[in-house]
Amino acid sequence: MAIVGCGAVGSLFAANLAQLDEVEVWAFDLDREHVAAINEQGLRLSGAGELVGEVRATTDAAELPPSDFGIVATKCMHTAAAIEATAPAFADGAVCSVQNGVGNEEVLAEYAERVIRGTTFPAGRVLGPGHVQWDVKGDTTIGPFEPSPAPMAEVERLAAVCTRGGMPTQAVADARGPQWRKLIFNAATNPIGALTGLTHGRVCDDPGLRRLVSQLVDEGRAVAAAQGIELDADPEELIDHAARPDVAYDHKASMLQDAEAHRQTEVDYLNGGISRVGREQGIPTPLNDAITALIKGLEASWAQT
Amino acid sequence: MAIVGCGAVGSLFAANLAQLDEVEVWAFDLDREHVAAINEQGLRLSGAGELVGEVRATTDAAELPPSDFGIVATKCMHTAAAIEATAPAFADGAVCSVQNGVGNEEVLAEYAERVIRGTTFPAGRVLGPGHVQWDVKGDTTIGPFEPSPAPMAEVERLAAVCTRGGMPTQAVADARGPQWRKLIFNAATNPIGALTGLTHGRVCDDPGLRRLVSQLVDEGRAVAAAQGIELDADPEELIDHAARPDVAYDHKASMLQDAEAHRQTEVDYLNGGISRVGREQGIPTPLNDAITALIKGLEASWAQT
């Protein structure tokens, strides 16, 4: 088992799966300090769960042993480089995306034969080398990627391992519903946090912003429906959930974390992805277009002298 | 002549008009340091024009002598308090708004009998006590406020004085066209600068943002048309102008200045004003609604612990 991209979400998988005796967990990441700390002291999670995972980490993809499964958890814009480097390790295995946004599986399929579409809800943030804050627990759903599917038996095996390791995961025949539900939720909330500086809970709780969030949800819903995707549940439930004071109220969305660190965001794969598919399907998405432009403008300002 | 609110725009009027021998210029402002510096060293402008105006400044409205004209240049949210305090000085005179946004004249008319509707394009920023940077020169247009009008002869007299003082001003019978043109321009560009951190020129120059800016303009245009207001020119010309590298390219919109200083913005009177009138007129304004919600969210984040 190899985790490709050991940021917050990748670390949640790596550290949890490393609790299983029968699984050897490798992590591929380009952050030398993070990799060195993991190899020296293990990968530590704090917050929603406290544990240390014995993980073999490397910045050199050639060191990865052949693996049955790769779990790809990089930011969307790094998917191609990451899978190009690590694909040889998965020549006889399957590769599963647990990333945000749309279009990641398409990229994985350019380098890997058997691909699994996945969506994961747990969230956190890197506190420092080898140490990740686990902000929110949650489920993962995986299914065969339609054009280059992994066999369903393999999908089910991966789900069972993740679940045993403490990351509850469900194998389903069509994982597009949960993926679009999360995409729509992310696109409706994440950039609002990045533009306003508000935490997840406050974005979902403020009446004016909640109206905007719901309008963004409606655009995403229309684009999903045009593709024949049936959402497994209403994205509004996730927003109601985020607005509850006890859950993820004070969680800073990953895009707000990116904005505060002046790091490129995933907006092209979230709102930009909804807009792109909307254009293909002939569904107008003016608010997602606007949010994409605002976030790209914000990114551009970081280079402004 | 009294200038009510001696921030950037108020200072441009005060210092320029003070160049005229026949005009005694008073300035009312609540910033004690600014007022003290003006009284000690005069009011200094740098940038597009270099000059020092001999201005009598006070924080005490009761000190203002009876004046033929008041020029109100406070932020919109301070209009009521400012005119309530200063109205006695204008008992026999007329009061003219040169503020941003919609609804200021209505507030002035609650306290003053003769009101002038005005719109001004010059812009700048306060550099320190008694010292204002003049970023952009521009014209001013004034006209009688329909429900509580100042006589046209008085409007013309004020325009002539301002023009002689170096602030080119035109008197017109219906000043709503220029006012809505500037309102639409401001609402389409100012908050985009505040949300992204980009200067005026870059907001208007970036293709993705420019598309959003133009959609915001279209909403504003529809709301103006529904009221029977004829814009005196296309707001897009102002945007093209702002995108030119030689003009206001590096000017930070006042709302961006507010955002950087964590000061309440005028969004309720810009995009919020367009949305409010849109609701009254039955014209949908989803993008102005969205921008209002985002700016209010940004303001809320400054109080976030």
**Which residue ranges form the domains of chain A, and what is each CATH number?**
2-171 (3.40.50.720), 176-302 (1.10.1040.10)
Q: Which residues contact B153 (CB under 8 A, 6 or more apart)?
A: none
Q: How confident is the model at residue A304 (pLDDT cuts 50, 70, 90)?
A: low
Average pLDDT over every residue of A146-175: 97
Position B242 scores a pLDDT of 78
At residue A252 the predicted structure's pLDDT band, cuts being 50, 70 and 90, is confident
The closest of A9, A2, A7 to A138, measured between CA atoms, is A9
**Mean per-residue pLDDT for A126-154?**
96
Query: Is the per-residue pLDDT at B1 higher than 70?
Result: yes
CA torsion angle for B228, B232, B236, B237 (degrees, to 10)? 180
How would residue B247 be classed by pLDDT, with cut points 50, 70 and 90? low
Give the pLDDT mean for A139-160. 97
Using the predicted structure, report yes or no on whether residue A263 has a pLDDT greater than 80. Answer: yes
Cβ of A203 under 8 Å from any chain B Cβ?
yes
Q: Which residue has the tokens 């306060």?
A: B126
Q: How far is CA A267 from CA A75, A189, A227, A275, in A?
A: 11, 11, 21, 11
Mean of the pLDDT values across residues A101-130?
96
**B304 vs A: CB within 8 A:** yes
> Predicted confidence band at A289 (pLDDT cuts at 50, 70, 90)?
very high
Residue B37's pLDDT is: 98
Does residue A151 belong to the interface with chain B, where contact is any CB pair within 8 Å? no
Instruction: Return the structure tokens found at A7.
Output: 């940021």
E-strand stretches of chain A: 2-4, 26-28, 43-47, 51-53, 56-58, 69-72, 94-97, 115-120, 123-128, 131-136, 140-144, 169-171
Per-residue confidence band for A108, with pLDDT thresholds at 50, 70 and 90: very high
**Per-residue pLDDT band at B243 (split at 50, 70, 90):** confident
Average pLDDT over residues A249-256: 84
Tell me: the pLDDT tens digits for B184-221? 999 999 999 999 999 988 998 899 999 999 999 999 99
**Interface membership of A274 toward B (CB under 8 Å):** no
- Average the pLDDT over A98-117 and give the result: 96
Q: For residue A98, is pLDDT > 60?
A: yes
Please give the average per-residue pLDDT across B221-249, as a whole number: 88
Q: pLDDT (tens digit, 9 = 90+) per residue, B261-296?
A: 999 999 999 999 999 999 999 999 999 999 999 999
pLDDT at A78 (0 to 100): 96
- Tell me: pLDDT of A76 over 80: yes
pLDDT value, residue B304: 65
- What number of other Cβ atoms are within 10 A of residue A161's Cβ? 18
Cα A63–A64–A70 angle (5° rounding)? 160
Candidates B203, B294, B295: best to mutate against A (most CBs of A within 10 A) is B294
Q: Above 60 in pLDDT, residue B135?
A: yes
Q: In this structure, what are the phi and psi dihedrals at residue B277, rounded to the nearest 5 degrees?
A: -65, -35
Q: Is the pTM of this model over 0.80?
A: yes
CA atoms within 13 A on the CB side of B229: 24
Q: Tell me: pLDDT of B232 over 80.
A: yes
Answer whether A27 touches B (CB < 8 Å).
no
**pLDDT at residue A25 tops 70:** yes
Of A294-298, B59-63, B142-146, B300-304, the poorest mean pLDDT is in: B300-304
Q: Do A208 and B293 touch (CB under 8 A)?
A: yes
- B292: nearest CA partner in chain A: A208
- As a whole number, mean pLDDT of residues A151-164 equals 98
Distance between CA atoms of A216 and B208, rounded to whole angstroms? Answer: 18
Instruction: Determine contact, residues A68/A155, Cβ cutoff 8 Å.
Output: no
For residue B75, indicate whether it is catalytic: no
Band of pLDDT at residue A247, cut at 50, 70 and 90: low
Residue A71: phi and psi, rounded to 5, are -110, 115
Span B136-174, pLDDT tens digits? 899 999 999 999 999 999 999 999 999 999 999 999 999
- pLDDT of A156 strictly over 70: yes
Residue B193: predicted pLDDT: 96
| Mutation target among B189, B190, B195 for the A interface, most CBs of A within 10 A | B195
Q: Look at residue A85 and tell me whether its pLDDT is greater than 70.
A: yes
Supply the mean pLDDT for chain B: 95
Rounded to an integer, the average pLDDT of A145-167 is: 97
Is A294 in contact with B212 (Cβ distance < 8 A)? yes
